[in-house]
Amino acid sequence: MAGIAMAEGKRNSGFLHDRVLRLLKAQHPHPLTGLQLAELLQAEGDVVPVSQVYRALRRLIDEGAIRKILVAGGYAPVWRESVVLLWCRVCGEVREVPCPEVFQRLEAIAGGLKAPHCLIEVPGVCAACAEVP
């Protein structure tokens, strides 16, 4: 009986993992916080404790499927590995800019340091928001 309960728990954990990833992809290019994800899940009819959402986020980060964007305070899917993230402080949009030459130069300066998951975050205001008076 305990094995059945454990198997059910693992299925639910994987199901939550998949749903969190789906929600993050659906909201791209806007990162979401754990609380926002819990609220979206609740709007879909599932009340999930925020702690479980954060466990799913940690698992997705460990798998390399998502990243935490510090300047935006949220999570977003990983579309490319080594990128510069441009984050608009007004609308919250995050744009990924592949810049392999920047990361190659950093590796050269760092004496050959290899970092397969490089990320540079740049906060600012996007062109569309800058035009608004």
Q: How far apart are CA 14 and CA 104, in angstroms?
A: 36
Three-state secondary structure call for residue 94: strand
Mean pLDDT computed over every residue of the chain: 85
* CATH number of the domain to which 96 belongs: 1.10.10.10
Whether residue 3 lies inside any domain: the answer is no
Whether residue 88 lies inside any domain: the answer is yes
Whether residue 1 lies inside any domain: the answer is no
Whether residue 2 lies inside any domain: the answer is no
Q: How many CB atoms lie within 10 A of CB 72?
A: 21
Number of domains into which the chain is organized:
1
Write out the residue range of the structural domain in which residue 38 sits: 8-131
Give residue-wise pLDDT tens across range 31-41: 999 999 999 99
Q: How many CB atoms lie within 10 A of CB 8?
A: 10
Q: What is the model's pLDDT at position 76?
A: 92
List the structure tokens of 88: 């608009």
Give residue-wise pLDDT tens across range 85-112: 999 999 999 998 988 888 888 888 888 7
